[in-house]
Amino acid sequence: MNKDTRKLEIYITRNRHSVNQYTEYEITTITNLPSFKRNYTVVNRRYSQFEKLNKELKKYQQKYNKNIYYTDGANKDLVIPSFPGKTGLWVNKYSDSVIEHRVFMFTNYLRFLSEYLVLCEDREWAKEFVRFLQNDTY
Grade residue 9 by pLDDT with cuts at 50, 70 and 90. very high
Q: Can you tell me the distance from the alpha carbon of 138 to that of 136, in angstroms, rounded to the nearest whole number?
A: 7
pLDDT at 122: 73
Residue environment code for 58-97, b if the CB has 16+ CB neighbours within 10 A, otherwise e? eebeeeeeeeeeeeeeeebbbebeeebeeeeeeeebeeee
pLDDT at 4: 64
Q: Which CATH number covers residue 58?
A: 3.30.1520.10
What rounded mean pLDDT belongs to the chain? Answer: 83
pLDDT in tens, 101-110: 999 999 999 9
How many domains does the chain divide into?
Answer: 1
Domain that holds residue 68: 3-134
pLDDT in tens, 19-54: 668 899 999 999 999 999 999 999 999 999 999 999
